[in-house]
């Protein structure tokens, strides 16, 4: 009997630990716990593939949290459709609806101060993600957080995929055997902090890794598959037989370039992306994309959700969510190539 009691106690403690680990939140000082929380999420562009993947993971986090904690989560996800004015209105609406916390993927990262003003006045914490507000804005209040996959890291890993391939099999990149790998570059939005950094560090990594590269041309395709496809179509006509590598700031643009090659009946040119979106990973698996750099979407969305839920429940953010300077979370990333 005594042993049985001990066993039950141990089991209960283990269960409690598991629940704490799952919710990620420590118990509040005040014992009055909320039975429901309201989280307002605004996306810069709902049809962006990467953002869509994060959205799906956020929804999963909310469901799991409800089941584990018996706390109802009202997750109100809105699409700003590329308009900062729309996003500002969404923020106002979230505040008037009594949201406990806001998760914002800013349309214009330089215009976050208006949203911060509103949130600060209403004392509602904000978890920004993917498009980084400027530092002065992030420093305005200790209830502002930012979640990202660090751009330099993505780019160095992306460059590494090409360096490894060149070392293993130079002919698969230097297709005409002239001792130089001639590449084209597809870049994201010019105003996005990630685009410039990814381009710079990806190319630098190739050069430092001993790949003899030469840029043919490049262009901004704003992260979009169709825009990238149109650019690639032009380049294939303008530089016939010359393109040997396609460096892309994200997977969707790499897939657009591949679409253009398929239309033109061209194969054998390697493309690399970043994100590890669902279609990006599929393209790696079926050999269309040489490789991608995948950020861990579960942890990315998990960090956004855990911080938001802890703030809403007035609980401490758990130490597993390692915050740099108390507000920045850097999501882990990894290389994905075929047969790995």
Residue 106 CB, nearest distance to ligand GAL (Å)? Answer: 9
Residues that bind ligand GAL in the complex, under the rule CB under 6 A: 48, 50-51, 130-131, 188, 192, 194, 223, 250, 252, 274-275
For residue 40, the surrounding DSSP H or E stretch is strand 36-43
Burial of 273 (0-12, 13-18, 19+ CB in 10 A): buried
Q: Cα angle at 52 between 161 and 134, to 5 degrees?
A: 75
Measured from the CB atom, the residue of 65 and 223 that comes closer to ligand GAL is 223
Measured from the CB atom, the residue of 65 and 129 that comes closer to ligand GAL is 129
Give the Cα separation of 105 and 46 in Å (integer): 10
Which letter does DSSP use for residue 110 in this model?
G
Residue 223 CB, nearest distance to ligand GAL (Å)? Answer: 4
Question: Helices marked H in the chain — which ranges?
Answer: 2-23, 49-69, 84-96, 112-122, 135-138, 151-168, 193-208, 225-238, 251-264, 278-285, 297-312
C-alpha 254: how far from chain center: 16
Measured from the CB atom, the residue of 69 and 250 that comes closer to ligand GAL is 250
For residue 316, the surrounding DSSP H or E stretch is none
Measured from the CB atom, the residue of 80 and 309 that comes closer to ligand GAL is 80
List CB contacts of 97: < 8 A, sequence separation 6 or more: 38, 40, 76
Measured from the CB atom, the residue of 95 and 221 that comes closer to ligand GAL is 221
Residue 49 CB, nearest distance to ligand GAL (Å)? Answer: 7
Burial of 6 (0-12, 13-18, 19+ CB in 10 A): exposed
Measured from the CB atom, the residue of 47 and 139 that comes closer to ligand GAL is 47
Measured from the CB atom, the residue of 292 and 315 that comes closer to ligand GAL is 292
- Closest CA relative to residue 116, chosen from 130, 98, 134: 134
- Closest CA relative to residue 75, chosen from 99, 91, 93: 99
Residue 255 CB, nearest distance to ligand GAL (Å)? Answer: 11
| 232, two tokens | 């690639």
Measured from the CB atom, the residue of 249 and 315 that comes closer to ligand GAL is 249
Residue 272 CB, nearest distance to ligand GAL (Å)? Answer: 13
Residue 149 CB, nearest distance to ligand GAL (Å)? Answer: 7
Residue 297 CB, nearest distance to ligand GAL (Å)? Answer: 12
Residue 154 CB, nearest distance to ligand GAL (Å)? Answer: 8
| 176, two tokens | 């005409």
């Amino acid at each position: 009997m005594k042993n049985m009691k001990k066993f039950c106690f141990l089991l209960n403690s283990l269960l409690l630990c598991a629940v704490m680990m799952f919710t990620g939140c420590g118990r509040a000082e005040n014992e009055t716990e909320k039975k429901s929380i309201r989280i307002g999420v605004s996306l810069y562009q709902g049809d962006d593939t990467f953002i869509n993947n994060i959205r799906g993971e956020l929804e999963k986090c909310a469901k799991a949290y409800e089941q584990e904690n018996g706390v109802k989560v009202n997750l109100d996800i809105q699409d700003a459709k590329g308009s900062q004015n729309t996003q500002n209105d969404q923020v106002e609406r979230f505040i008037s609806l009594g949201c406990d916390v806001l998760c914002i993927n800013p349309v214009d990262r330089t215009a976050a101060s208006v949203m911060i003003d509103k949130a600060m006045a209403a004392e509602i914490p904000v978890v920004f993600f993917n498009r980084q507000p400027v530092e002065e804005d992030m420093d305005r209040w200790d209830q502002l957080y930012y979640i990202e996959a660090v751009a330099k890291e993505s780019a160095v890993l992306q460059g590494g995929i090409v360096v490894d391939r060149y070392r293993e099999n130079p002919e698969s990149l230097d297709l005409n055997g002239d001792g130089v790998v001639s590449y084209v570059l597809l870049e994201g939005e010019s105003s996005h902090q990630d685009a410039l950094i990814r381009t710079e560090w990806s190319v630098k990594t190739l050069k430092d890794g001993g790949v003899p590269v030469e840029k043919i041309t490049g262009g901004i395709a704003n992260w979009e598959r169709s825009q990238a496809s149109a650019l690639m179509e032009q380049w294939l006509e303008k530089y016939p037989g010359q393109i040997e590598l396609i460096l892309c700031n994200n997977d969707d643009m790499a897939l657009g370039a591949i679409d253009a090659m398929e239309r033109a009946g061209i194969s054998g040119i390697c493309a690399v992306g970043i994100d590890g979106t669902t279609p990006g990973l599929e393209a790696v698996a079926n050999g269309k994309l040489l490789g991608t750099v995948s950020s861990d979407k579960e942890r990315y969305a998990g960090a956004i959700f855990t911080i938001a839920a802890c703030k809403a429940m007035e609980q401490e953010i758990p130490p597993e969510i390692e915050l740099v300077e108390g507000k920045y979370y850097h999501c882990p990333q990894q290389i994905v190539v075929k047969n790995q």
